[in-house]
Amino acid sequence: MGREKRISAIAVLPQGLENAGCEELMALGAHEVRPLRRAAAFQADMACLYRLHLQARLPFRLLRQMARFPCQGRDDLYDGIRRAMHWERWLHPSMTFRVDVTGSAPGLKNHSHYSALQVKNALVDQQRDLWGERSSVDLEDPDLSLQVHLGRGDAVLSLDAGRGG
């Protein structure tokens, strides 16, 4: 049997428990685990990701990284999101979604709500181009929850692995 493809992921952890979180991730089969600030980066195959959802106690959320692209401002964010994935496979207009943005980029500093609106606009514009209709935003119980982190000249797009990712 061949090796299943590894997925880059982030476990969002309570501050101060990054090292304990890393130990738990490794014990449950995650690879290349490294602590971050209030998080841990790791690699996992799908079986491990499912196992983490069922058995990990410390992470608040598990984020499946889907794309990374250069981001120097609003236009880069909009264009990068549109090109990041085959959205027609992940977000049909019948589905709801939510966008959360952390970090900053030039022209987007301290405006996470504005950045989230740019991501939302990129997605619904693409849906209108493809289907002539768009998804609704649902902040409470979305079908798909997106996380974008801006920093160091890049944007990292992740799906909340517990919400459709």
CATH number for the domain that contains residue 99: 3.30.2130.30
**Chain segment 59-111, per-residue pLDDT in tens:** 999 999 999 999 999 999 999 999 999 999 999 999 999 999 998 888 776 67
How confident is residue 51, by pLDDT bands cut at 50, 70 and 90? very high
Cite the beta strand spans of 85-143 per DSSP E: 96-103, 136-137
Say if residue 3's pLDDT is above 90.
no
Query: What domain count does the chain have?
Result: 2
Map tokens 């079986």 to a residue: 47
Domain identity same for 40 and 77: no
pLDDT of residue 109: 66
pTM above 0.85? yes
pLDDT of residue 61: 93
Residue 25 falls within a domain, yes or no? yes
Residue 2 falls within a domain, yes or no? no
Domain identity same for 89 and 156: yes
Domain identity same for 70 and 141: yes
Cite the beta strand spans of the chain per DSSP E: 7-12, 31-36, 39-44, 61-70, 96-103, 136-137, 144-151, 154-160
Structural domain of 50: 7-59
Strands 39-44 and 7-12 turn out to be: antiparallel
Residue 107 falls within a domain, yes or no? yes
